[in-house]
Amino acid sequence: MANNGVLLGRTLIQQRGSMGGARSVFVKLQGVKNELVFPTFGGQLKNPFKGAAKIYAGDLFEFRTDENGVNPELYLLKTYKVKSASGTTVTLYKDGYKHIPFIGDKLGVAPDEIGGAVSAVTVNAVKVVDNTWVLTVSGNLTASDGTILVEADNDGKMLVKDINAVAPCDYDFIYNPAADEDDYEGARYHIAPALGGLMYIHKMSPMPKCVLDLNKCNINGWFKVEL
């Protein structure tokens, strides 16, 4: 049973943390109505961050439905830009516009194709050093400056299998997520993403080549997602 109660007064809650900044990522067009369109229903985010973090406007999703086209689930494309890697130590670029890594994340070098095989490692420790995150991982990771890491599933493949939706705005995560369907203490996040969008690439989260190859826009520096 969930905790409940009554307080005939005012409750103040304070929490400290850093989740990231905000910036305008979408290309503004004139004479086009409803450039961002939405489904009539959203879905539960199945891979939320494990702590305080942020989804940025222009981040990409897989909007995954069942065989009847209903009961959607959302999977966020989490990306991490490597600065250096040596053995089980991986250093990632950190600023106000990068996804935050957490202990327990399964990460690997982005494959050549969306949903492809990934040699994943598990994050065992995270510490902040200057403008970087320094990770200790479960195995050796071969990567160099600029390599993009993505989240892996339990089968050793890229978690996101398709790209078909976009975050229309920033979403702040301030609560610890539910660990599983039987966890009634953690948060469950439900989002209705935009079904497509046109963004400035340099304002998006770092994108691996397998994602950039999906670009439907022929204008240099712009990225377009379509259904």
For residue 226, what pLDDT band results from cuts at 50, 70 and 90? confident
**Percent of the chain whose predicted confidence (pLDDT) is above 70:** 88
The larger pLDDT score, comparing residue 12 to residue 141, is at 141
The larger pLDDT score, comparing residue 100 to residue 180, is at 100
CATH topology for the 43-225 domain:
Thrombin, subunit H (2.40.10)
The larger pLDDT score, comparing residue 220 to residue 20, is at 220
pLDDT recorded at residue 169? 92
Contact 122, 106 (CB under 8 A): yes
* Position 48 pLDDT exceeds 70: yes
pTM: 0.86
- Beta strand 73-76 with 197-200: parallel, antiparallel or unpaired? unpaired
pLDDT recorded at residue 2? 53
pLDDT recorded at residue 191? 93
Give the mean model confidence (pLDDT) for residues 148-155.
97
**Among candidate residues 211, 221, 168, 180, the one with its CA nearest the CA of residue 44:** 180
Domain residue ranges of the chain, discontinuous segments joined by +: 43-225
**Half-sphere exposure of residue 37: CA atoms within 13 angstroms, side-chain side:** 11
Lowest mean pLDDT among 53-62, 77-86, 137-146, 182-191: 182-191
The larger pLDDT score, comparing residue 68 to residue 123, is at 123
pLDDT recorded at residue 35? 72
Computed over every residue of the chain, the mean pLDDT equals 89
Lowest mean pLDDT among 5-9, 41-45, 59-63: 5-9
List pLDDT tens digits, range 171-211: 999 888 888 888 888 889 999 999 988 999 999 999 999 99
